[in-house]
Amino acid sequence: MSTDQTVSGGPFREAIRREGLDALWVSRPENVRYLSGFTSPADGKLLVYPDGATLYTDARYTVQAAEESRCPVFIARPPATFAHAAPLVSGLRVGFEADHLTVSELGALRAHWQVGERPATLVGSQGLVEGLRLVKRPDELAQIRAAQAIADAAFAAVRPGIVAGVREDRVAGQLEAFMRERGAGSAFDITVASGPRGAMPHGTASDRVIGEHELVTVDFGARVQGYHSDMTRTVAVGHPGEDLRRLYRAVLEAEEAAVQAIRPGARCSELDQVARDILTRHGLGDYFAHSLGHGVGLAVHEGPSLRGTSSEVLEAGMVVTAEPGVYLPGVGGVRIEDLVLVTADGHEVLSRSPKERL
């Protein structure tokens, strides 16, 4: 295990110093897991201070935390947690995760730490650990690959059953059962959106019965050892009309062009523009209602953000999605999403499920 994946790793300590901080209170679950290795991070918090780090969790996790955590563990519930930490942060500039900590949690930190002769100074911080998570280590990549391979196998098994007369939630249930049988969880609530429901970008599977000659959008992923995959396929049931086929072909063209443009040094905003320009040329730009994609890792949605306003630039080792979609209210929609690894000389598409040619 390399040192840089622990809280004592050079890049992490450097990032804390660069922010002008002495310590960091880590409360975002993915970040707690990334730094400590503790696999129930929603019930853990991590305090990183100049000469060490402590994982705080409660008595339900005494055994698990001792087995998993790379940091010393202190078993307590708040407010005993804050009281234990108070002397460790005395007089220090302590960062907290401003995008995650609740107002009441911040109040509790203030009440316990901004007191006494050498009060701590609490400073809101953004994206500090998330920045370290952008480029994946080989062991993280292996989990993402494993998750995507299970998702691809699930899709191959379930695809023949996506036919007229079947309920959307049955399709979702079959995908989820397949992944569970192979030891993976479902990365998020599975989208199965058929016919006019395809106009809802996040149309979680409903009790709607899939009809003849419809498009069905299926968006799902697997979770392996905390790491996720994310893929969307839109499939045809029967023979959808030419209008729907045109829609599908436009999205496929945009998706494939965006994937082809993924390489180190590519600007995320420009990748979004590649897909948007193609859909605009097809008269569909106004119906591409979201950004091109996002990073995937311990969170399904993480950095970098592939959107028009992003200033981020891709680097080798990042894992991102390209997922243009068009959504026509009352008619339906199409989205196609691939999971893509940025490699030293370009990219590798991790999602292998075939795409239909309509």
Binding site for Zn ion (CB under 5 A): 219, 230, 232, 321, 337
Tell the smallest beta-carbon distance from residue 185 to Zn ion (Å).
15
Tell the smallest beta-carbon distance from residue 189 to Zn ion (Å).
11
Tell the smallest beta-carbon distance from residue 241 to Zn ion (Å).
26
Quick count: other Cβ atoms within 10 Å of Cβ 257? 16
Token code pair at residue 196 = 């006019």
When the beta carbons of 122 and 314 are compared against Zn ion, the nearer one is 314
CA distance 293 to 345: 20
When the beta carbons of 97 and 219 are compared against Zn ion, the nearer one is 219
Quick count: other Cβ atoms within 10 Å of Cβ 337? 22
Tell the smallest beta-carbon distance from residue 231 to Zn ion (Å).
6
Tell the smallest beta-carbon distance from residue 300 to Zn ion (Å).
7
When the beta carbons of 93 and 307 are compared against Zn ion, the nearer one is 307
When the beta carbons of 22 and 230 are compared against Zn ion, the nearer one is 230
CA distance 36 to 32: 6
HSE on the CB side for 227, CA within 13 Å? 23
Contacting residues for 139 by C-beta, under 8 A, at least 6 apart: none
Where residue 319 falls (left for φ over 0; alpha for ψ -120 to 50; beta otherwise) is: beta
CA distance 136 to 340: 12
When the beta carbons of 119 and 308 are compared against Zn ion, the nearer one is 308
Tell the smallest beta-carbon distance from residue 293 to Zn ion (Å).
6
HSE on the CB side for 275, CA within 13 Å? 34
Token code pair at residue 101 = 């900590």
Q: Cα dihedral sign for 93, 98, 100, 106?
A: positive
When the beta carbons of 88 and 298 are compared against Zn ion, the nearer one is 298
Tell the smallest beta-carbon distance from residue 237 to Zn ion (Å).
20
46 in Cβ contact with 74 (< 8 Å): no
26 in Cβ contact with 48 (< 8 Å): yes
Token code pair at residue 305 = 């953000």
When the beta carbons of 74 and 188 are compared against Zn ion, the nearer one is 188
